[in-house]
Homo-oligomer: A and B are copies of this chain.
Amino acid sequence: MPQPTNSLVNSLLTDLYQLTMAYAYWSNGRQDDAAVFDLFFRKPPFDGEFTVFAGLEEVLRLLESYRFTADQIEYLKTVMSPCRPEFFEWLASLDTSCVKVYSVPEGTLVFPRIPLLRVEGPLAIAQLLETTLLTLVNYASLVATNAARFRLAAGTDKLLLEFGLRRAQGPDGGISASLYSFLGGFDATSNVLAGKLYDIPVRGTHAHSYVQTFQNLAELPRTTLTDRDGNDREFVTPVLDYRRRLGYPQTNEGELASFIAYAQAFPAGFLALVDTYDTIQSGIPNFLCVALALIDLGYDPVGIRLDSGDLAHLSNEARRIITEVGRQLDRDFSRVIIVASNEINEQILLSLNNQGHSIDAFGIGTNLVTCQAQPALGCVYKLVAIQNNPRIKLSQEIGKITIPGPKDVYRIIGKEGYALLDLLVQTGEPAPRPGEKVLCRHPFNETKRVIVTPTEVISLHQCVWDGQRTTAAKRPDLIRQYVKDQLMRTRKDHLRAINPTPYKVSVSQRLYEFLHGLWLAEAPVSEME
C-alpha cells in the first residue's frame, strides 16, 4: 500500500479545531450523521481564468493510510484533556472505510465553484479530513497552474527546467514543486530526490563556485581525454591551439581549466556556465575552444548557460558568435543550446518573446516554486448536505455563497472541439447528451442563460475512493500529457496571461431552482424603520 510521499502527511497534520469539533459531534452522538463536503476554489490564481487540479494521488494515499496511532492518541490526550476517555477509544477505531470520494481527474483544467473533490461520509471523519485535503490540493494545484502558465508563456518548443529547491518553502515545498511543475508542463527538475520518488527527468551541470575553484591550467591532473572510439587522446593542447587560433589569449584561465575538467568528466554532456567572469570576453570563447576540441574527439558539445545580464541581448550575441565561429571553422553548432536562468518569471518570459531572443531552454526557480505572483490558492471545504438535508452557506458577497447539495459536473465540448462551458447538476439528474440542447444558467444571475448543443459531453466526476481506492495511480508523464492535451482543447482567449475571457460555469435549470429556493428560504428579510 503506497504511503503518502511525505511521512508528515498523517492524521495529525490537521487543525486542532477539527478534533475539537469531532469531540463535540461525538459527545452529541452525531459523529455518524451523513455529511457531504465540497472542496473547491472561488477565484483562479494569478489573475488568470484556469487552474490545473493536482494533488489527488497524495489525497488517495492519505485516505489509505488514515489512522490515529496509539502514540498520536497519547499526545491528543494531553492537548484535549477535558475530553472523555471513550472519545479517544472511538478515535483510535476511526478509518476511511465508510468514506466515498468523487474527484475530477488529476491534471484537469478546472474553474471556480466546481467541486474538485466531493467527500461523502460520516460527519466526524469527513470533517477531520478537511485541513489535510486542503493542504494536499492547494499548493499542488497552485504550482501546476503556475507551471502551465510558464509553459504557455515560453512556447511549446522551449525546454523548461525547474531549479527551485533551494528557495522553496520547506523541503516538501521543494519536492512538491518539482512534481507539480512537471505535471504542469516542465520538462525536468534539478531536484534529485523528486527524480527518484516520481521518476521524472533530472538535469544539471555546474555552478559559479565550481568555476571559481580553478585558478589555472596547471591544476589539471590530466591533459588527455578518451575519444568516442576509446582511444586516449591529447585534449588540453588542442583546446589551447583553438584558443590561439581564434585569438582568445585573454580569457580567464581558471574558467578555461574548469571547462576542460568538466568536459573530461562529462565529454558527452558538456554544458558550460559562461558568466562567472565575463560572458562575451571569456565564457563563450572558453566554451568554444573546449567545444571544438570535443568535436575533434567525436563528441557533441551540449551548450552554454547564461545566469546574469540582459538575457535577450546576450543570447542573441552568443548565438551570433557561436554560429560565426562554426562557419569560420566549418563546424556544425546548430544543436548547441543556450540555457538562461536568473530570477525568470512569467512576465520576463513574455517580455523576452517581445524583444526577440535565442534562448532554447529556461532554468526557473524561485518565482515558479514559491508562486511569487500569488503564493496561495484559496481552496475551501464546505458542508453542502447533512442527513440528506442540503446546506447553503450565505454571505454578503455573492461569490461566497455555496451551491447546496451533492452535484455532478459535465464539461460541454462544442463543434470546434473546444470546451464551451462546465455544467453543474444535482447528482441523479440525467447527464446532458451530445446533439441535445441544454439550458445552462448562471448560478446567481437570473438573466444570464445560454442554450448549448454539445458535440461531446465529458463527465468530470469519478468515484476515486469507496472505502478503498477505486482508481490506479497515474504516471506523472501521463498526467502531464493530459494537461497538455486540454490546453490544446481550450480556447486561447481563456488561457491568455492578462485579462482572459471568463469561462462559464453554469448550473442546470433544476439546480438553479433548487439553489434559489433554498436561498430565499434561508436569507433573512431585514426590517427598516
Nearest chain B CB to A271 CB, angstrom units: 10
With both chains docked as a complex, state the minimum distance between the C-beta of A376 and any C-beta of chain B, in angstroms: 4
Complex CA gap A397/B379 in Å reads 41
**A171-B30 contact given A366-B376, A372-B375, A375-B375, CB 8 Å threshold:** no
Check A13–B171 contact: CB distance below 8 A. Answer: yes
Verify if A139 is at the interface (C-beta below 8 Å from B).
yes
For A264, give its contact among B27, B205, B395 (CB under 8 Å). B27
Question: Is the C-beta of A233 less than 8 angstroms from some C-beta in chain B?
Answer: no
Beyond A24-B206, A37-B209, is A169–B15 a contact (Cβ under 8 Å)? no
Given contacts A175-B8, A192-B19, contact A166 B131 (CB under 8 A): yes
Does chain B have a CB within 8 A of A513? no
A502 within 8 A of B: no
Residue from the set A9, A168, A203, A396 with the largest chain B CB neighbour count within 10 Å: A168
Q: Given the complex, which residues of B lie within 8 Å of A23, measured CB to CB?
A: 265-266
Question: Out of B20, B262, B268, B309, which one reaches A205, CB within 8 Å?
Answer: B20
Chain B, residue nearest A213 (CB): B386
State whether B389 touches A215 (Cβ < 8 A).
Answer: yes
Compute how far the CA of A221 lies from the CA of B281 in the bound complex, rounded to whole angstroms: 83
Contact with B along A196-237 (1 / 0, CB 8 A): 100000111111111011010001111000000000000000
Chain B residues near A72 (CB-CB < 8 A):
196
Interface check A173, CB cutoff 8 A? yes
In the bound complex, what is the Cα–Cα distance between A146 and B5 (angstroms)?
A: 28
Judged by a CB distance under 8 angstroms, whether A172 is at the interface is yes
**Is A348 interfacial (CB-CB < 8 Å)?**
no
A484 to chain B, nearest CB (A): 24
The A370-412 residues at the B interface (CB cut-off 8 A) are 370-372, 375-379, 381-383, 386, 389, 391, 393-396
Known: A166-B135, A382-B209. A192 touches B375 (CB 8 A): no
CA distance A277 to B396 in the complex (A): 10
Total contacting residues, chain A, CB less than 8 A: 114
Kindly name the residue among A4, A24, A191 whose own CB sees the greatest number of chain B CB atoms within 10 A. Answer: A24
Q: Quick check: B264 and A28 within 8 Å, CB to CB?
A: yes
- The number of times this chain is found in the oligomer is 2
When the two chains form the complex, which single residue of B190, B196, B281, B395 contacts A15, counting CB atoms closer than 8 Å?
B190
* A12–B213 touching, CB < 8 Å: no
The answer on a CB contact under 8 Å between B173 and A170 is yes
A13 near B176 with CB under 8 A, answer no
Name the residue of chain B whose CB is nearest to the CB of A383: B209
* Nearest B residue to A5, CB-CB: B8
> Is A21 part of the binding interface, using a Cβ–Cβ cutoff of 8 Å?
yes
Q: Which of A21-41 contact B (CB under 8 A)?
A: 21, 23-25, 27-30, 33, 35, 37
When chains A and B are docked, how far (Å) is the Cα of A372 from the Cα of B375? 6
Flag if B14 contacts A165 (CB, 8 Å): yes
Please tell me which one of the listed residues B10, B79, B135, B220 contacts residue A170 in the complex, with CB atoms under 8 A apart.
Answer: B135
Minimum CB–CB distance from A33 to chain B (whole Å) comes to 7
Chain B residues, Cβ within 8 Å of A28:
219-222, 261, 264-265
* Contact for A265 among B17, B24, B391, CB less than 8 A: B24
What is the CB-to-nearest-CB distance from A181 to chain B, in angstroms, rounded to a whole number? 13
Decide: A167 and B82 in contact? CB cutoff 8 A.
no
B residues in contact with A265, CB < 8 Å: 20, 23-24, 27-28, 83
Q: How far is the CB of A124 from chain B (nearest CB, A)?
A: 10
- A138 at interface by CB-CB < 8 Å: yes
Which residue from B29, B278, B391 sits with its C-beta under 8 Å from A221?
B29
Bound Cα distance A33, B212 (Å): 13
A169 with B176, Cβ < 8 A, contacts A35-B213, A192-B16 known = yes
What are the interface flags for A413-438 relative to B under an 8 Å C-beta threshold, 1 for contact and 0 otherwise? Answer: 00000000000000000000000000
* Residues of chain B lying within 8 A (CB to CB) of residue A372: 375-376
- Nearest chain B residue, comparing its CB with the CB of A27: B265
With an 8 A cutoff between CB atoms, is A163 at the interface? yes
Q: Is A246's beta carbon under 8 Å from chain B?
A: no
Q: List 16 A-B contacts (CB under 8 A).
A: A5-B8, A16-B195, A16-B202, A20-B206, A21-B206, A21-B207, A24-B265, A24-B266, A28-B219, A28-B222, A138-B166, A138-B167, A169-B173, A169-B375, A213-B391, A372-B375
By Cβ-Cβ distance, the 7 closest A-B pairs, closest first, are A172-B172, A16-B204, A17-B204, A169-B169, A370-B375, A134-B166, A12-B193
Given contacts A6-B171, A19-B192, A27-B265, 5 further A-B contacts (CB under 8 A): A6-B8, A12-B193, A12-B196, A131-B166, A366-B376
